[in-house]
Structure 1
Amino acid sequence: MNDRMTAGHVPQILVIDDVPEDIRSLLALLRAQPWRLSLATDARQGYQRALALRPDLILLDVRMPQMDGFTLGRLLRESPATARVPIIYLTSAGALEERLEGLSLGGVDYVLKSCAPEEVLARIQIHLQLSWREPAVASPARTEEAADDEQLMLRAAMRLISQSLEDLPSLADIARKVGTHDKRLSAIFRKHLGTTVFAYVRDARIRRAQELLADSAMSMQDIAELVGFRSACNFTTAFRERQGMTPSQFRQQVRDPSAPDSQ
């Protein structure tokens, strides 16, 4: 069992919701528990509190102004200080695509606000127990903890791009999903990677294509679609420009380095 529990650790719960009146009954129930409770009423305030408090669990609303819960979830996952904190999305955003997005971002649970407070409490208790059973992890080095907002946005954008190559959002949408705007995100990529977002996407598509060519028997058309090209022809042209050989030649070289075409 994790040292936190054996040492008499008192769980810290962070609730982030811009309309706490909607969960008044749940907050009353949480305050009655032997826990420490902190409430943030907007995503940016919640972000700063999460980094400072390192809570044991976060209850996170989705539909909030300026920065929504999904954007905040992405940033929290990229910070070494909060990457392992369980997040339960507690929201009225009940569409299937919203539930799937929350879970795909690493949420341990997704609960609608129509859920009874007692059930939410039970879910919190379950996830606290599960997190306590995980092996204790050494605290990140101080220099690693100090990742600034730009670095977190960069990491979140890179992860989002790698997971969305097949149907990549626009630059403006990528920026919004990581808590910024397109001009600033472009500047962050140039500053930290020395490249543009477009060039990074192009390279990410070619890297993923190389993996699929080496590790699968998928057709060129299937690989092209999976990495975001409109056709196998466009894919072949881009791959040749970048790698100096066609995708078929690359696959042959990887599988049989002694073949004549791979010399």
Structure 2
Amino acid sequence: MHGSHSFLSASPHILVIDDSPEDIRSLLLLLRQQSWRLSVASDARQGYQRAQALRPDLILLDVRMPGMDGFTLCRLLREAPVTQLLPIIFLTSSGALDERLEGLTLGGVDYVLKSCAPEEVLARIRIHLQLAQRGNAALVPAQAESVSTDQVVLRAAMRLIGQSLDSMPSLAEIARKVGTHDKRLSAIFREQLGMTVFAYVREERLRRGQELLADSEMSVQDISELIGFRSACNFSTAFRERLGVTPSQFRGQLQGMEQ
């Protein structure tokens, strides 16, 4: 064991998660020449376990891996307290814009092509280690709360649902994007929240609807589209069933209180 882990250690710990390390052999050789600790995982699940156990200072994460891809793993790492602040640099063989944007939207700090010169990747790693050291020193608790894998999957699914209200993926697709399958995801929602995934989606839509009615000037029609109802009429019916008033009455009551 190397003393107590922290960003204070002189030699940062880098975790590389890639199912084909031979693609980045020259990069790994260069990393091994630094005074850093280097760990390698060859698939996403092993990568997740190592990230939780080793608490590295930075993760280099391949996007395209069989089973669970890098985007799914990033969603899970962002919900686990131990790894939520870690800089994640995506490594990819594809420079497709939509992939780069997805990686950055999920909280990756950088996006590097595998064909990139190893020296450039090294320079980027140094930059992000320095930024993380400045930014996270005060934020990382000595004892991050421990959270079960089910809770991490649940949090990742809840965040994904919250971001996809207007065009909700299928249950199978949500499950795939958080690294599980539909039956398991349904069981996790029932065990942790006491409701089905569908019921949670409905609750979240109505909760967001209330927020938008209260905090924006948007029309009921626009709000209903934004939160994924087929029509303003459907939204009004569901809203009234849940809250006993129509969206317009709800907004009117709030405005009455403010006057």
RMSD across aligned positions (CA) = 1.6
Q: Kindly state the Cα deviation for residue 141 of structure 1 after the two structures are TM-superposed.
A: 4.1
1:256 paired to 2:256: yes
Match for residue 244 of structure 1? 244
SS at match of 1:59: strand
Q: Can you list the C-alpha shifts for 1:43-83, whole angstroms capped at 9, x where unaligned?
A: 11111110011000000001101111011101111111111
Match for residue 105 of structure 2? 104
Residues 33-112 of structure 1 aligned to structure 2 (within 5 Å): 33-112=34-113
| Whole-angstrom CA distance in 2 between matches of 1:245 and 1:191 | 31
The answer to whether the 8 Å contact 1:15/1:39 transfers is yes
| Whole-angstrom CA distance in 2 between matches of 1:8 and 1:258 | 54
Match for residue 207 of structure 1? 207
Structure 1 ranges of 4+ moved more than 4 A: none
Match for residue 161 of structure 2? 161
Residues 103-122 of structure 1 aligned to structure 2 (within 5 Å): 103-122=104-123
Gaps of 5+ in 1: none
Quick one: which amino acid aligns to residue 248 of structure 2? S
Match for residue 123 of structure 1? 124
SS at match of 2:185: helix
SS at match of 2:257: coil
| Number of residue pairs aligned between Structure 1 and Structure 2 | 254
1:187 paired to 2:187: yes
| Whole-angstrom CA distance in 1 between matches of 2:117 and 2:153 | 35
1:139 paired to 2:141: yes
Match for residue 149 of structure 1? 149
Q: Percent identity?
A: 72
| Whole-angstrom CA distance in 2 between matches of 1:10 and 1:196 | 46
1:222 paired to 2:222: yes
The answer to whether the 8 Å contact 1:14/1:39 transfers is yes
SS at match of 1:110: strand
TM-score, length-scaled by structure 1: 0.93
Quick one: which amino acid aligns to residue 175 of structure 2? A
| Whole-angstrom CA distance in 2 between matches of 1:138 and 1:115 | 31
TM-score, length-scaled by structure 2: 0.94
| Whole-angstrom CA distance in 2 between matches of 1:65 and 1:47 | 14
Change (3 A) 1:130 1:138: closer
The answer to whether the 8 Å contact 1:4/1:132 transfers is no
Q: Kindly state the Cα deviation for residue 111 of structure 1 after the two structures are TM-superposed.
A: 1.2
The answer to whether the 8 Å contact 1:81/1:140 transfers is no
Quick one: which amino acid aligns to residue 94 of structure 1? G
| Whole-angstrom CA distance in 2 between matches of 1:176 and 1:94 | 23
Q: Can you list the C-alpha shifts for 1:146-190, whole angstroms capped at 9, x where unaligned?
A: x11111100100010011111111100000011100011001000
Q: Can you list the C-alpha shifts for 1:226-254, whole angstroms capped at 9, x where unaligned?
A: 10111111111111111111100011111
The answer to whether the 8 Å contact 1:221/1:232 transfers is yes
Gaps of 5+ in 2: none
